[in-house]
Amino acid sequence: MEKMSRVTTALGGSALTGRTMHCHLDAPANAISVCRDAAQVVVAGRSIFKIYAIEDEQFVEKLNLRVGRKPSLNLSCADVVWHQMDENLLATAATNGVVVTWNLGRPSRNKQDQLFTEHKRTVNKVCFHPTEAHVLLSGSQDGFMKCFDLRRKDSVSTFSGQSESVRDVQFSIRDYFTFASTFENGNVQLWDIRRPDRCERMFTAHNGPVFCCDWHPEDRGWLATGGRDKMVKVWDMTTHRAKEVHCVQTIASVARVKWRPECRHHLATCSMMVDHNIYVWDVRRPFVPAAMFEEHRDVTTGIAWRHPHDPSFLLSGSKDSTLCQHLFRDASQPVERANPEGLCYGLFGDLAFAAKESLVSTESGRKPYAGDRRHPIFFKRKLDPAEPFVGLASSALSVFEMEPGSGSMSWFVDTAERYALAGRPLAELCDHNAKVARELGRNQVAQTWTMLRVIYSSPGLASAASLNHSVGKGSSCGLPLMNSFNLKDMAPGLGSETRLDRSKGDTRSDTVLLDSSTTLITNEDNEETEGSDVPADYLLGDVEGEEDELYLLDPEHAHPEEPEYVLPQEAFPLRHEIVDTPPGPEHLQDKADSPHVSGSEADAASLAPVDSSFSLISVSHALYDTRLPPDFFSALVCDMLRFYAEQGDVQMAVSVLIVLGERVRKDIDEQTQEHWYTSYIDLLQRFCLWNVSNQVVKLSTSRAISCLNQASTTLHVNCSHCKRPMSSRGWVCDRCHRCASMCAVCHHVVKGLFVWCQGCSHGGHLQHIMKWLEGSSHCPAGCGHLCEYS
Amino acid sequence: MFVARHIAADHKDLIHDVSFDFHGRRMATCSSDQSVKVWDKSESGDWHCTASWKTHSGSVWRVTWAHPEFGQVLASCSFDRTAAVWEEIVGESNDKLRGQSHWVKRTTLVDSRTSVTDVKFAPKHMGLMLATCSADGIVRIYEAPDVMNLSQWSLQHEISCKLSCSCISWNPSSSRAHSPMIAVGSDDSSPNAMAKVQIFEYNENTRKYTKAETLMTVTDPVHDIAFAPNLGRSFHILAIATKDVRIFTLKPVRKELTSSGGPTKFEIHIVAQFDNHNSQVWRVSWNITGTVLASSGDDGCVRLWKANYMDNWKCTGILKGNGSPVNGNSQQGNSNPSLGSNIPNLQNSLNGSSSGRKHS
């Protein structure tokens, strides 16, 4: 409302109304100019010269000034200007160097008034004096500016810029006699119209051509210039030397610049190449345009504010043959769309956060809006010309760091460095890793390692460990010794049990039982403890009737231990397999008799059958050792690994994968494994854990991973004596027939790290040299040099 | 516990993006003042600006690091319609003495006719590739065929999104089972309620990117989008910054079930949606393991989100831009208001999910 009333007064009773609109022209426009009544606009171009009335809803063509049958070059306009005092007076600059004035008051169709053919080349710009009715100024490609008095037939005075083509001339609005001109070579000149001999002042404003300039409508000292260097500069001309007060960097060369009425710091620009948009800048915020008009599809050639006291209507003509009226409130505002915040999660759990200062600081003063959560704290602000400028926007940058003690990724680094993945028995690896995890306070992981150890480590060791747990739960047979997880114990357990049944009252059975359950059940063991053969025979050769007993027995013993555990059932099918093996019946008779009746004799006699059953036993052990647990647990373990991977702890997945090796590998598809490996290696490399990463690469069984370290590494060796490349024949040089790079201490060829003294160039294996230097500081080669190693 | 370390950025206008490098020791910032600054972390943990240079002739929207295998390389994109690739020059110079490093422009990508709003390097296993998106709705994928020559980039793909694009994110998964995938967000604010997030997938057979999915439920302008790092997951997690924070999971439907050759189909679920910022959310960023999401909004706060063992996402921390603790998150009745007690929980839950139960 306020704006409207102000506009109304400025216009003497008629408010400006309108909307964003455009109309199609017949030809590309080169320039536009507005009549002082703000109701008409003239469009001029190479083949167009028309006047349009600006109505509320549309542009209406009022007059076509291109009349006559044959097109004249005089009508090919580079620029047009409408006199701001006389509604009937127009001037055009033609590409052939002619300056034409037009009088709309002429009754004939042809409104052409005067013709000045004084410039030799294209006239780039014409400009009426803001207060003088008859004074016209022109600037031309030929380097001259001419001042015309429209009451005379030729120019009043000629100004020579002495510096290439003139791109723009503009009368100062406040200084009656002053005008500014801009030049192709980057200069700006200030002239007094009474003194054509030399310019008042000259300075270099831009790199490359200065295409345009505009005097500030209110501030008498300010001149804005725009150049091919994509800059708009605002100069304070009141001081002795022209002082650059503002500099706006645009994204393309600046073809036109126009101060926005009623907005002291705003100016509009358009470009002559690449960029079709019109920008309005606040010179105090020189990096981001305050508003942007994106209607044109080709280069915008002319811009004009519709009324010298109204900031909301902008007119523009373009090479795309359209004439547009832009309403400021319809402009897009890059400032509003620009992202005011930056956020990045760091490797160590630290957060970098940059935010617009107003967002961060005003918040602290504002009371929390706990009640009304829907309150829109952010709404699109209209750029109101009256709005006081809040100052340059700036951002606060801060990094939120984890305190050293709670560094969120330190567990990863520690774990990676301390885990043992290979080189020791499985149980030790698991124990070690569990310990590491526990020390780092990762109890679940530690527990997992312990469980893995119990599941997978060999039965003897496991039962020895489980002995501790199950002391006091003893029952008559070996089964109580078994840990509930530990299926492998089933084999010796059952074996000893059957033995127990078979040789009742035999004192030996107790000791054997202990032996078999505490020592590893391997082939060697079986050989050593003769007794274990016997039950094995029995186990195989026992009649069908007793089998059922066994079946019944086992669950009974197993269940009290771990009722919810389903292991025993799983175990039995395996039994069937063994029992059903073909060799059974034949040997049955022999064995049933042999151990029973005659001890050692039968042993000797039935050597062959015992052996065969023996192999069977070992097969059954083998089955127990490798097949049963994976069959039963692998699904669980795989699920566990997947769980860890999905929880983001790929470290655990890969570590377990490596430690367990073949035990689980085949149950997880190759692609998943590869994914885990690559992810983990990537993580390790992020933390610069190169050694661990290499170890993982080396230990991985996935072909795609293990070849990572073999790619693009070539070792070229030159002979240390003749400096020629060594052939592939080894470490003896072909040419000088000497061994290359001998160790001065051990006199062998050094094939790995070679360390040498830069003084005497003797050296050798790193360890050898280090050891040598502990005892002597002289060169080991005997050259007498006091070697220095840094 | 977080400690806020304030840095005098000395940018002359808004900072639009911050980016850590692969090892987390360097940081790049970009601003509307048309410059990019590189910050290096000293032994004492301070951040020092080691380079600051004018990169574009318009606001620089985004800056991003390439994998260090390709050198110290940055890419930036700007309002001036270009994206640029920068490389740090190693060598003896006066700059070194002043603790400054020298960055040179290796290439300018000028294909866009409008503001380039995001630029992202592809995951390393894809080679040296770069994706840009622009306000005219086109995603462009460039490749440097020779990784030693950063000045040669060929435009491999142009994907038309029909909507003004604001952000892109590569799927970081290194699994062979996952074909290259890129998610695009749009900040188109026109009133029509079109889906603002599209996901494109590379098809090995046609050698083209085709649209795999559109997140139909996201109809408000999207300002940022981020795939979570995928360390061995079979599915993908996507975070979206729009008028609220949203987290989606995308589970690939088994290839055998779909017709071979076509794009992968996904089961898409929204697993979290938070409007705690009470305003526009501008940025989302995942931690390195893809378990914690940080978001920042117009309320000037950073909020941290984490899933518990039940896959329920909860706020685990709030950080104020100026480092002061945040009170008054009344809607978070069960969460501790102060920072100090929140973060240890976060730490625990990072270590294993069992501890997650404790504060669930």
Res. A563: pLDDT tops 90: no
Radius of gyration of chain B (CA): 20
Residue A38 reports pLDDT greater than 70: yes
| Cβ–Cβ below 8 Å for B286 and A343 | no
Long-range contacts of A519-526 (CB under 8 A, 24+ apart): A519/A460, A520/A458, A520/A459, A520/A460, A520/A461, A521/A459, A521/A460, A521/A491, A521/A492, A521/A495, A521/A621, A522/A621, A523/A614, A523/A618, A526/A614, A526/A617, A526/A618
Q: For residue A304, what are its two tokens?
A: 């004009």
Inter-chain CB proximity A352 and B27 less than 8 Å: yes
User: How distant is the Cα of A418 from the closest Cα of chain B, in angstroms?
Assistant: 16
Instruction: With residue A499 as reference, give the H or E element that holds it.
Output: helix A490-502
Residues β-bridged to residue A234: A224, A246
What tokens were used for B1?
A: 């516990």
Q: Residues A521, A491: contact at Cβ < 8 Å?
A: yes
Interface test with B, best of A254, A288, A293, A341 (most B CBs within 10 A): A341
Cα separation, B133 vs A627, whole angstroms: 54
Distance (Å) from the alpha carbon of A509 to chain B's nearest alpha carbon: 46
Instruction: Please answer yes or no on whether B282 and A675 come within 8 Å at the CB atom.
Output: no
Predicted local distance difference test score (pLDDT) of residue A148: 92
Q: Which of A407-411, A443-447, A668-672, B342-346 has the highest mean pLDDT?
A: A443-447
Name the band, by pLDDT with cuts 50, 70 and 90, for residue A659.
Answer: confident
Residue whose entry in the numeric block shows the structure tokens 């926007």: A393
Residue in chain B closest to A676 (alpha carbons) equals B232
Q: Closest approach of chain A CAs to the CA of B177, in angstroms?
A: 7
pLDDT of residue B138 exceeding 90: yes
Instruction: Provide, as residue numbers in chain A, all residues whose Cβ is less than 8 Å from the Cβ of B31.
Output: 287, 395
Each residue's pLDDT tens digit, B158-187: 999 988 999 999 999 888 888 899 999 998
pLDDT digits (tens, 9 = 90+) for B290-309: 889 999 988 888 999 998 87
**Amino acid residing at B162:** K
CA–CA separation, A285 vs A282, rounded Å? Answer: 5
Q: CA separation (Å) from A85 to A82, A90, A133, A295, B18?
A: 9, 11, 7, 31, 55
For A239-265, what is the mean pLDDT? 89
Cβ contact A229:A254 at 8 Å: no
pLDDT band for A237, please (50, 70, 90 cuts).
confident
- ipTM of the complex in this document: 0.88
Mean pLDDT check: name the lowest of A769-773, B115-119, B256-260: B256-260
| Token pair for B201 | 């997938």
What's the CA gap between A213 and A221, in Å, rounded? 13
Of A98, A101, A79, A86, the C-alpha closest to A35 is: A86
Query: Of the given ranges (A447-456, A659-668, B145-154), which has the lowest mean pLDDT?
Result: A659-668
Residues of B in contact with A685 (CB under 8 A): 22
Share the mean pLDDT of chain B: 84
Residues of B with Cβ-Cβ distance to A679 under 8 angstroms: 174, 229-232
Return the pLDDT at B9.
Answer: 86
Query: How far does the CA of residue B112 sit from the closest CA of chain A (Å)?
Result: 11
Give the count of beta carbons closer than 10 Å to the beta carbon of residue B10.
14
Give chain A positions within 8 Å (CB) of B239.
none
Mean pLDDT lowest among A122-136, A587-601, A610-624, B328-342: B328-342
When mean pLDDT is compared across A295-299, A693-697, B332-336, the lowest value belongs to: B332-336
Which position has the higher pLDDT, A98 or A549?
Answer: A98
How does strand A310-318 pair with strand A322-327? antiparallel
Q: Between A251, A368, A408, which is nearest B81 by CB? A: A251
Q: Which residue of A has its CA nearest to B319?
A: A400
For residue B348, the chain A residue with the least C-alpha distance is A442
Res. B45: pLDDT tops 80: yes
Q: How far apart are CA A499 and CA A518, in angstroms?
A: 16
Structure tokens at B88: 């740090």
- pLDDT: which is higher, A542 or A703: A703
Mean pLDDT score, A217-230: 88
A553 vs B28, more confident: B28
A289-306 mean pLDDT: 91
Cβ distance of A444 and B299 shorter than 8 Å: no
- Token duo for residue A198: 């030399």
Q: How far is B214 from chain A (nearest CA, A)?
A: 23
Query: Rounded mean pLDDT of A118-147?
Result: 91
- Burial (CB < 10 A; 0-12, 13-18, 19+), residue A483, is buried
- In the sheet where B116-121 sits, what is the strand order? B116-121, B129-134, B138-143, B154-160
Out of A339, A342, A440, name the one closest to residue B29 (CB).
A342
Chain A residue numbers with beta carbons less than 8 Å from the beta carbon of B327 are: 368
Query: Cβ–Cβ of B174/A679 closer than 8 Å?
Result: yes
pLDDT tens-digit readout, A507-547: 443 433 344 333 333 344 444 434 434 343 333 333 344 44
Could you give the 3-state DSSP secondary structure of residue B188? Answer: coil
Q: For residue A341, list chain B residues with Cβ-Cβ distance below 8 A.
A: 282-283, 296-297
Query: What ranges make up the beta strands (E) of A377-446?
Result: 395-402
Beta-strand relationship, A243-249 and A341-345: unpaired
CB contacts of A336 in chain B (<8 Å) are none
Q: Roughly what angle, to the nearest 10 degrees, separates helices A670-686 and A690-699?
A: 160
Q: Minimal Cα distance from B242: which residue of A?
A: A339
Please indicate whether, in this complex, the C-beta atoms of B320 and A363 are within 8 angstroms of each other.
yes
**Stretch B247-253: mean pLDDT, rounded?**
91
Distance (Å) from the C-alpha of residue B83 to the closest C-alpha of chain A? 13
Give the mutation candidate from B32, B48, B188 for the A interface (greatest A CB count, under 10 A).
B32
**Does the pLDDT at position A714 exceed 90?**
no
Q: Where are the beta strands (DSSP E) in A374-481?
A: 395-402
- How many residue pairs from chains A and B have C-beta atoms closer than 8 A? 299
Min distance A560 CA to chain B CA atoms (Å):
29
What pLDDT is recorded for position B87? Answer: 94
Place of tokens 């469980």: A451
Q: Do A342 and B17 touch (CB under 8 A)?
A: yes
Report the distance separating Cα A582 and Cα A19, nearest Å.
99
Which pLDDT value is given to residue B117? 94
Q: Tell whether domain B161-327 is in CATH 1.10.357.10.
A: no
Categorize the per-residue pLDDT at A173 as very low, low, confident or very high, splitting at 50, 70 and 90: confident
Query: Residue A42's pLDDT band (boundaries 50, 70, 90)?
Result: very high
A530 CA to chain B: closest CA distance, Å? 49
Residue B158, CB-side half-sphere exposure with 13 Å CA sphere: 9
pLDDT at A591: 41
pLDDT at residue B341 greater than cutoff 60: no
How many Å apart are CA B61 and CA A541, to the nearest integer?
82
